[in-house]
Chains A and B, each alone.
Chain A
């Protein structure tokens, strides 16, 4: 069965086509965006390391994120119990982890939020930004200037 396609004209990305099954629902919102519940993960050809979470409720809002292990290979978030129960995840294959990237005003420094990863259940497509109990991770960990263009060599 062919799925219904939706098209949007986005301020940052221009025209974009997606299916309902691409959408990630954040039932609890995100800190700072409590009322924005539906987000679309986007890739841009020229910046393959980034996954942009584009709000479908407010087209002006797009949150840059990336796979933390592309940059911090030793990252070892211990997800608290509420992450597993509220998102109904059991094992590593159930979910993906994204961390929000902040670019400073002069665009000279990028930081990644390792303290509060965004976890998405890949089957239910429900997501939540999870605050780690162990606060040894920074919400603004500096990213080395050069992000690898593709996944690290295994």
Chain B
């Protein structure tokens, strides 16, 4: 992992269009400002982890093998 030291109001660039600014530091808490294009999702890691765990559980859950033939599902927009 790359480790960089920054002071308040200093920033780092990730690629050409993501900037992370150190906004404030208070004991063990750091406030970050994130500037990223609208196409880039930004989340707290815990949220991503929660989704990842739920997905993993969904595939390993003991759902009985569904009876009947599996067919291609037709996907439709919400009415």
Residues of A within 8 A of B (CB): 10, 12-14, 16-19, 22, 30-33, 40-47, 50-52, 54, 61-64, 67, 69, 80-82, 85-86, 92-98, 100-105, 107, 111, 113, 115-116, 120, 122, 129-131, 135, 139-140, 154
B50: nearest chain-A partner, CB-CB? A139
Cα A115 to Cα B58 with chains together (Å)? 15
Point out the residues of chain A lying under 8 angstroms from B52, CB to CB. 31-32
- The count of residues in chain B whose C-beta lies closer than 8 Å to any C-beta of chain A is 35
Point out the residues of chain A lying under 8 angstroms from B67, CB to CB. 44-46
B 30-79 contacts with A by CB, 8 A: 38-41, 43, 47-48, 50-59, 61-73, 75-79
- Give chain A nearest CB distance to B52 CB in angstroms: 4
Known: A96-B78, A113-B54. A42 touches B62 (CB 8 A): no
B69: nearest chain-A partner, CB-CB? A45
Summarize B's interface: helix, strand, loop or mixed.
loop
Cα A93 to Cα B69 with chains together (Å)? 29
* Contact between chains at B72 and A22 (CB < 8 Å): yes
- Most A CB atoms within 10 A — which of B50, B54, B77? B54
Known: A64-B58, A107-B63, A139-B51. A69 touches B78 (CB 8 A): yes
* Contact between chains at B75 and A101 (CB < 8 Å): no
Point out the residues of chain B lying under 8 angstroms from A62, CB to CB. 59
* Contact between chains at A43 and B72 (CB < 8 Å): yes
* Contact between chains at A82 and B38 (CB < 8 Å): yes
Point out the residues of chain A lying under 8 angstroms from B38, CB to CB. 81-82, 85
